[in-house]
Structure 1
Amino acid sequence: MKKLSTSNRILLLLAVFTLIPSFFTPLWQISLWAPQYPEGLNMKIWIDHLSGNVDQINGVNHYIGMKHIGVEMFPEFTYLTYVMMGMIALGLLFFLVGRRWSLYAFFGLLNAFGIAILVDMYIWGYEYGHELDPKAAIKVEGMSYQPPLIGYKELLNFLAYSGPDTGSWILIGGVSMLGIAMFRDFREKKLLA
């Protein structure tokens, strides 16, 4: 098994370090704007809690029959910290191994994790936006209120946005470093062939 070049091992180690800010920065954000909220309402999703205007968002959503947003809605908060610590430990192990396969394995692991999180968020958003209280004060026949997974969406008189926050952008930077290392590794392999 071919060893990684020193520069690619450094890129792998830097990518591992990009996981650490996920403990201290918000990973995702959901924002809402409406005529009555021109400054917007914002909810930040961290690795183990929520912050921002969660109470105001719950107040607005109550009228259309959406469930109360709370930490208890997200069982992921109970184990995501441990998953992230495990990925850091694996990343450090892959760095110590320093073989080509370890670079590709860590890249695959981070991408699989990212896809799993997006699928989980989509399912949560679908259930949250479709399972409405039939006794809600405001009912619009055939209307669902699923927030966008990524990007903007109009929901009645609200404009909703959902997307990565600081921690996720740092993680995306780490995955990009792995992509650069893989490109360099592929190029080195081609030159030696």
Structure 2
Amino acid sequence: MKKASLLMMLGALLLLGLFQFPLWNIMLGAPQYPEPLGINIFINGLEGQSEFDLQNIDGLNHYIGMKTLPKPEDMWEFSVFPLVIGGMALLGFLLGVFGLLGKIGARWFLGWLILMTVLGVLGMYDFNAWMIDYGTNLDPNAIMKLQNPDGTPMSYKPPLLGHKQLLNFDAYSYPRLGGYLMGFGMVLTFFAYLVGRKKEYQN
């Protein structure tokens, strides 16, 4: 179980990268912006990819009635997510230690992975729900009121993943380094489970 436990510990510790690196990124490109505008999404707040990106995005959003981008104190997620990630990293590391000591089996590693997957899916669902609210609940008194061809109000929701055309903007939404580290950590924990189970069967 030594190798499996070390993989479990490393996989859990990779979650801590989310405290340093962005989880996700949304880019907005248009002909009038030689340098695309970008939002880096951390587990505890938002940052512009460049110095004035958040300010410029809020300025554009004002014309179509979108809310200003949230500050950390505006969303409970920015307070809860760091606690969840820190707690899961600590739990995973401790499971690895207990595995090294022979106190638990590989199924505990799989249990951690399942729990982390469920939390990740819930986090993505919450992120998408926030973008739906952000892109559809517009100020009726906005300067610009654009409609779809069928007369319904146009939605400016960015894509959860991939590319979407928003008026003359191309919006791109993809994971960043923190998200990739988290994903790689989860892959390592899956291998920890497989290696541990193989060792248990051999014994």
- Structure 2 length-normalised TM: 0.86
The whole-number CA distance in structure 1 between the counterparts of 2:143 and 2:92 is: 50
Q: Is the 8 A contact 1:26 1:46 kept in 2?
A: yes
1:122 alignment counterpart: 128
Aligned 8 A contact 2:10 2:93 in 1: no
Matched, 1:91 2:92: yes
Gaps of 5+ in 2: 100-104
Match of 1:162 among 153, 160, 173: 173
* Deviation digits for residues 107-147 of structure 1 (CA, Å, limit 9, x no counterpart): 11221121111001010011111101111111112211111
What's the offset of the Cα at 1:21? 1.2
Residues 48 and 80 of structure 1 are in contact (CA less than 8 Å); yes or no, is this contact kept in structure 2?
yes
Cross-structure match for 2:189: 178
CA shift, 1:87, in A, is 1.0
Match of 2:54 in 1: 54
Q: Distance in 2 between matches of 1:42 and 1:73?
A: 20
Aligned equivalents of 1:116, 1:179: Cα separation in 2: 20
Aligned to 2:7: 11
In the alignment, the residues of structure 1 paired with residue 155 and residue 61 of structure 2 have an alpha-carbon distance, to the nearest angstrom, of 12
How far apart in 2 are the matches of 1:183 and 1:129? 42
Is 2:109–2:193's contact at 8 Å kept on the other side of the alignment? yes
| 1:102 equivalent among 72, 88, 108 | 108
Distance 1:101 1:125 in 2: 36
Q: 1:67 to 1:119 in 2, by over 3 A?
A: same
Shift of 1:166: 0.9
Q: 1:38 to 1:159 in 2, by over 3 A?
A: same
**Maintained 8 Å contact 2:23/2:177:** yes
2-structure distance, mates of 1:78, 1:188: 40
* 1:33–1:159 Cα contact (<8 Å) kept: yes
TM-score (norm 1): 0.90
**Structure 2 CA distance for aligned equivalents of residues 89 and 187 of structure 1:** 25
Shift of 1:27: 1.2
Contact 2:12 2:189 in 1 (8 A): no
Q: How far apart in 1 are the matches of 2:144 and 2:174?
A: 27
Amino acid at match of 2:78: F
Identify unmatched segments of 5+ residues in structure 1: none
1:63 aligned partner? 63
Q: Partners in 1 of 2:5 and 2:120 — Cα distance? A: 22
Aligned identity (percent) is 37
Q: CA deviation at 1:187?
A: 4.9
In the TM superposition, what whole-angstrom CA distance separates every residue of 1:36-70 from its partner, at most 9, and x where no partner exists? 11310001111212111111111111111111112
Q: Tell me whether 76-85 or 7-16 shows the greater mean CA deviation.
A: 76-85
SS state at 1:63 partner: helix
**Which letter maps to 2:81?**
L
Q: CA shift at 1:192, angstroms?
A: 4.3
Please give the alpha-carbon distance, in whole angstroms, between the structure 2 residues aligned to 1:192 and 1:138: 68
Distance in 1 (CA, whole Å) between partners of 2:98 and 2:114 is 16
Confirm or deny: 8 A CA contact 1:95 1:102 kept in the other structure: no
